[in-house]
Structure 1
Amino acid sequence: MGSNASTLLRDEEIQEIEEQTGFSHKQILRLYSRFTSLDKTSSGRLGRSDLLRIPELAVNPLGDRIIQSFFADSPDGNIDFKKFMKTLAIFRPIRKSDGPGAVNSVENKLKFAFKMYDLDGDDKISKDELLVVLEMMVGNNITDDQLGLIADRTIKESDQDNVGHITFENFSKALERNDPGQMMSIRFLN
């Protein structure tokens, strides 16, 4: 299938994707093969149901939120290979050659993580949003009261401006000691 993938993807497209994402030629071909195997209709586009066939996303408690991020700028609910690669590139490990504006920069990784919690897209994480995401992550393993206490404590510890919610700046400060560049990276085969 690898040779089939290379004939369907033009060299100019591969080079453009390399420049935009930092993935190697070989990685792009491998991921294109994966993309085409998910594309059951051979339309060159994937929908949400196609991404749900990725086992790691299907079992991830935040899988639906991650999948939703692929379609953020997609009015028709489908993505092409380039959009697929741009979203995956956020999770590419940071290399010394990556500049501060790289798609996989620590700041972009943090923005992605922040959006996982900012359910209404208002650039702040409220206690209610935090509760919804925490419930997604832990399911029925702890009580609503315990979830409420965790959310209250998280807001209190992260809300340096004392405004009752978490801003992106405070979110970033709270996570910077945990090495988000490493924490939000996936190793892609070469």
Structure 2
Amino acid sequence: MGNKSSMQLQQEEIDEIQKETGFSHNQIVRLFSRFTSLDKNNNGFLSREDFLRIPELAINPLGDRIVHSFFLESNEETVNFKQFMSVLARFRPTKSNESKNKLNTREEKLKFAFKMYDLDSDEKISRDELLAVLHMMVGDNISEDQLNSIADRTITEADEDGDSMISFVEFKKVMERVDVEQKMSIRFLN
């Protein structure tokens, strides 16, 4: 999949992606088409700029964080199709009869959400990180005092070990009653 002459999906690649992500054959083919339409350099990779050309991401207040999430696992400046599909798989609706090793389990969805807030990737959400994400989400629609109050209250309610930060375990506990499976799902057409 690296160079222009190999920009066709092979059946074994489809089978591997299907097994790893749970997407259907048709969904993979459609998403490959979308991927290649975003790949302006026709090199089999997407850059951050390619993602930012997606109108829905460009207007989303967390668009930069969402785009950043595609690059967390690759530690590179580009993302290939398989990496692209791995991130999208976290947004597939969860089905009760699915294997538990899929990327769209509740645990994986929560890890993904946690990383949206963990700006410095230190496995903890600090008050400043929480405040920064709140700023991204609401902009100037809420006063600075209100945002500070929300951040303080959230840290106080979630922090069980007294370190003034939210760990993933604490985050999971706070999210126990949230229907993450539903809220973090995108319907992909077959």
Distance 1:145 1:164 in 2: 19
Q: How many residues align?
A: 184
Distance 1:171 1:120 in 2: 16
Provide TM-score, normalisation by structure 2. Answer: 0.93
What letter matches 2:22 in structure 1? Answer: G
- Taking only the aligned residue pairs, the percentage that are identical comes to 60
Q: How big is the shift at 1:74?
A: 3.0
Question: Do residues 58 (structure 1) and 58 (structure 2) align?
Answer: yes
Q: What does the per-residue CA deviation read over 1:15-52, in whole Å, with 9 as the maximum and x for residues that have no partner?
A: 01000100000000000010011011111110001111
Query: 1:141 aligns to what?
Result: 141
What letter matches 1:67 in structure 2? Answer: V
What letter matches 2:105 in structure 1? Answer: S
Query: 2:167 aligns to what?
Result: 167
Question: Do residues 185 (structure 1) and 185 (structure 2) align?
Answer: yes
Provide TM-score, normalisation by structure 1. Answer: 0.93
Contact 1:91/1:109 (<8 A) preserved: yes
SS in 1 for 2:177: helix
Contact 2:159/2:166 (<8 A) preserved: yes
Q: How big is the shift at 1:140?
A: 1.1
Q: CA RMSD in A?
A: 1.2
SS in 1 for 2:185: coil
Query: 2:3 aligns to what?
Result: none
Q: How big is the shift at 1:99?
A: 2.5
Q: How big is the shift at 1:75?
A: 4.0
Query: 1:116 aligns to what?
Result: 116
Query: 1:77 aligns to what?
Result: 77
Distance 1:157 1:171 in 2: 10
Aligned pairs (5 A) from 1:118-133:
118-133=118-133
Q: What does the per-residue CA deviation read over 1:35-92, in whole Å, with 9 as the maximum and x for residues that have no partner?
A: 0110111111100011111122111111101101101133440011110001100111
What letter matches 1:82 in structure 2? Answer: K
Distance 2:157 2:137 in 1: 20
5+ residue gaps in structure 2?
Answer: 1-6
What letter matches 2:65 in structure 1? Answer: R
